[in-house]
Chains A and B, each alone.
Chain A
Amino acid sequence: MTILLSIFIGLGLFFLVGFAGRTALHAAAPAHHKPMFRDMPLTASFGLAVIAIYVVVAILAPVIAPFGEGQVLGAAYQPWAAPHYLGTDKLGRDMLTRLIYGARNTVGIAFATTALAFVLGSVLGIWAALVGGRLDQWMSRFVDALMAIPALIFSLLLLTIFGTSVLTLILVIAAVDATRVYRLARSVAQGIVVMDYIEAARLRGEGMWRLIRREILPNAMAPLVAEFGLRFCFVFLSISALSFLGLGIKPPTADWGSMVRENATLITFGDITPLLPAGAIALLTVAVNFVVDWQLHRASGLKE
């Protein structure tokens, strides 16, 4: 009962922060951006609030966390009581501390990975659509070949070759994800490059980079942003899958995906502790998608 109550109170708090944030942004924004915040749905402000709080927690992790990330503090699986407010895990490390540090690792890595995948995939995809011809054929068939290999096996292969570190992990997952983004960006851009305004820009003598960045990308944003929300969530899965196979984030570094697995046995005893990191992922996923939906709504011009 208390748990349900605290969940409700927690979500309510997020909504309040979101509402307050929206009002503050609306007041602070310059005049021609004001309507953007006025029309922002409550779900989007909730999403923004959640993301903002995650970011703050991730940045200030060493300050907020009561104990060290890998510090073993005593008995395993202690119950929820001071000083271990969320108990301890199977090695006796403080659960709350690890959740806080997990925000840093998991969210940081997921964000870096998705962002990289998107920059790489969309720029290459739009470039291929813009140039067309042989370059497009070569690149697209190469990407098709990459996509034919199951993503997990492919990442395993690459990680085995290049060794496991956080950097290689980010690069490998980003490379695999970029192929999907490339596909999407290319097909969206193919519809845009035939427009008269692209022809006009070409006739003006604009360079490739300017065409991609100012003429095509803003018009391809809506589907790309939608895909971003989806991909961002899949990255958590990829990281925890790789961690499970021993090629992901190395212990004792905390990461939410692995934390669920490590403490899974507790569920059999009716303890919900292992679900906390899962819940953290779920909340972030929902929040990101709320924001993405809002952006999508705006980008597709439904409100305008």
Chain B
Amino acid sequence: MEKPVLLTIKGMQIEGRSGDAWHPIIKGVDLTLHKGEVLGLIGESGAGKSTLGLAAMGFARDGCRISGGTIDFDGIDLRTAPEAARRGLRGKRIAYVAQSAAASFNPAHKLIDQYCEGPVVHGVMSREKAEADAVELYRRMRLPNPEEIGFRYPHQVSGGQLQRAMTAMAMACRPDLIIFDEPTTALDVTTQIEVLAAIRDIVRQFGTAAIYITHDLAVVAQMADRIKVLLRGDEVEEADTRSMLAAPREDYTKSLWAVRSFARTEQPPATGTPVVSVRNVTAAYGTVDVLKNVSFDIHARRTVAVVGESGSGKSTTARVITGLLSPRKGEVLFNGKPLPPSFKARSREELRQCQMIYQMADTALNPKLRLRELIGRPAEMYLGLKGKALETRIRDLLALIELEPDKYIDRLPGELSGGQKQRIGIARALAAEPQLIICDEVTSALDQIVQEGILKLLDRLQGELNLAYMFITHDLATVKSIADEVVVMQHGAVVERGPKAELFADPKEDYTNLLLSSVPEMDPDWLNRLLAERGELA
């Protein structure tokens, strides 16, 4: 049976300004949403997911304008309705949950004050009633201490809790429609599950319709009744979740599905002296120990993935290896010889051998330097290349990372896409001709298709250049595709380590098990099944 239609968008066209020219972002997309239905919007970044989501509120971001089409929300034409009428709807009948709750809450006010603002301004409830209601919703969102948590400031609450508090806030006026804009993208897998379950339950309880925007297919499979795939502002296809997963029609959709299929060939167990050997390292920030007795080895031509939630000490381990943080106890051996604890005491040769690729290519590349200098500098510094030889080397490196040298050599990082920037980060590390490259969440800021390209590139380079990788990530799908060995960390200690196949097939520790089972799967019943299993355990 068909429920009544809540939102109809027809021929939506949105343009964005760059300089003096307007160029299209959304090119005539239709969207229909029934009452109580959850629609998943997926696509790469830049596909126009968020722009379309906001358009459902009759809103266009700064620098964007709605140039064509109609938006009909429950009989109200949002394009022609006066601003006051639209304001009356927002927060009351249409609510929005942003990607980063940490950035979207006002840090100067308590959670409950921000909760109450909407209902009170819209005249739905009195302040007292709103506060009581907040506690009720916090409870339904399964937040700890619902009576008390609202009186905290945003920074006193964890990321996952904050995201749930924001969802509760969106629910405050019992809207007809909520737009979720990548609500779990910034969270760890174990936290993500709680948030997903809470969001799904509350949407069902109140019969709210939702538009769920994400780039993670496995997540959308759990949440949405129907899925719409966007590509560069155009609709690729739309179908209900199960049939879309079972039989995608378009090639692009199929390619999205196939992304996770990349897997590196199995490597025989490594022997000989490891390139890097971390021995019983204990390290502290101030007086707090953040690493406790951490040990593992990395061999040449091998990738060791270090996984764990944020705050588990993954990046701190990298800082100890690079010498940014001196360990309190223990040592780091490089080819069997101990490295000086601080990078300042290391020789240029020792520095050259260990290079790092950062998570955010945006902040890892100096925005004012051209690629020529960004990539050329390590080669010039460590290998003493100059003039012609340096130029040739830079061009070779650009070719190696599959960027056309003539086109890119004089560009600034700002003139590149996210994936290209990350490739430059890789080229900069390669320019030093190191033995070990530390990859700190190098793919987590990228779209899945771009991720795939980067992983393949790293894999190819490893074979060609005999590199050892330390691969820090919280994304277990990435681990599955690229790692040879896995080190699982929690609270600054190594929980479990071993070859990938063994560890995935038969995890020994509870925590590893929890981590592995929390990775969303494409199966739309996965979340139900998992929650049922865990419910039995608890």
Query: Residues on A close to B: CB < 8 A?
Result: 32, 195-197, 199-206, 214-215, 218-219, 221, 301, 303-304
Contact = CB atoms under 8 A, between A and B. Distances in A.
Contacts of B324: 199, 203
B106 interface: no
14 contacts: A196-B363, A197-B366, A199-B324, A200-B356, A200-B358, A200-B364, A203-B322, A204-B351, A204-B381, A204-B432, A205-B381, A214-B366, A219-B367, A219-B368
Contacts of B363: 195-197
Contacts of B348: 205
Given A200-B356, A203-B322, A32 B410 contact: yes
A283 to B, nearest CB: 31
Contacts of A219: 366-368
B343 interface: yes
Contacts, number: 49
Main secondary structure of the interface of A (DSSP, over half): helix
B5 interface: no
Contacts of B339: none
A197 B19 CA distance: 28
A301 B360 CA distance: 19
A203 B356 contact: yes
Given A196-B358, A199-B324, A203-B351, A218 B343 contact: no
Contacts of B368: 218-219, 221
Given A202-B343, A204-B377, A215 B351 contact: no
Contacts of A303: 19
A197 B343 CA distance: 16
B345 to A, nearest CB: 11
Nearest to A303: B19
B323 interface: yes
Contacts of B414: 301, 304
A204 B364 contact: no
B405 interface: no
A214 B351 contact: no
Nearest to B378: A204
Given A32-B410, A204-B381, A304-B414, A197 B365 contact: yes
B369 interface: yes
A59 B377 CA distance: 40
A200 B366 CA distance: 10
Given A196-B364, A200-B364, A205-B351, 13 more contacts: A195-B363, A197-B365, A197-B366, A199-B324, A200-B358, A203-B356, A204-B378, A205-B343, A206-B381, A214-B369, A214-B373, A219-B367, A304-B414
A205 B347 CA distance: 9
Interface string B410-433: 100010000000000000100010
Nearest to B366: A197
Interface string B347-377: 0100100001010100111111100010001
Interface string B112-131: 00000000000000000000
Contacts of A197: 363-366
Nearest to A198: B366
A196 B343 contact: no
Contacts of A32: 410
A189 to B, nearest CB: 14
Contacts of A304: 414
Contacts of A206: 381
B82 to A, nearest CB: 32
Closest 8 CB pairs of A and B: A218-B368, A196-B364, A197-B366, A196-B363, A205-B351, A196-B358, A195-B363, A205-B348
Contacts of B322: 203
A131 to B, nearest CB: 12
